Amino acid sequence: MKTITQVADLVFPTRWATFRLLAFEAVYHNKRTGEAETALALILGDIHGTPPLVRIHSQCTTGDVFHSLRCDCHDQLHLALRTIADRGAGVLVYEHQEGRGIGLIEKLRAYQLQDLGLDTVDANIRLGHAVDLRDYALSVDVLRTLKIASLQLMTNNPKKIDAVRLSGIDIVGRVSADVAGTPHCARYLATKRDKLGHFSSLAANPVLASTDTAQSTSIFTAGVAPITSNASTLESQSHFE
């Protein structure tokens, strides 16, 4: 059982556009904690006329707030907001599962282990955590609450694709979330690709790969091709003529 409640609705001006911001709380009674979970939805334009661009972004205090170069989260967040603004419509769901679900302090402990040579996956395991503790139940429930039946999903993460599809929402296409890397996050990006199965159209060395914004954000044209039922086939179908 679950209880999801919209707790705020406000005008939210940003450097890219003025969004409508909705805040949600939910309690999932089948989860052990029974604590309320929270998520935000930044909405722009008409999200029902055609399948809107949607980004589910996991909270990253170190990247989103402090602009850490250890990850690509900050740049992915800005890419999503800029792309939604350029299109004039879309939704960014900001969900609070820091550090792939282990929380900020545990993520910082994992960073300490990474400084000693472990990668992001092995550091989580060394601390006794699963590789990725996130679930996207609240994120997809927010999309259902917004009455979104089909969407274009900006993600490189196959788990997000599976979560949205299993919710019954139709994914008509995937938009790459690739951003240029730095020497500080090169190993992190490689680990996401090689151990977590994230899609990437960047070169093997993401630091040397150039990311053209127009190319990254204009993947979809008027003729959007359908997506098959298997997330593993999405990479070959993510660019449409």
List the catalytic residues: 132, 134
Amino acid identity for residue 217 in this structure: T
Strands (E) in the chain, as ranges, are 2-13, 18-28, 37-44, 53-58, 90-95, 150-154, 170-175
Pair 177, 58: CB distance under 8 Å: no
Pair 175, 156: CB distance under 8 Å: no
Alpha-carbon distance of 24 to 7, in angstroms, equals 6
Pair 77, 58: CB distance under 8 Å: no
Alpha-carbon distance of 146 to 143, in angstroms, equals 5
Alpha-carbon distance of 192 to 140, in angstroms, equals 23
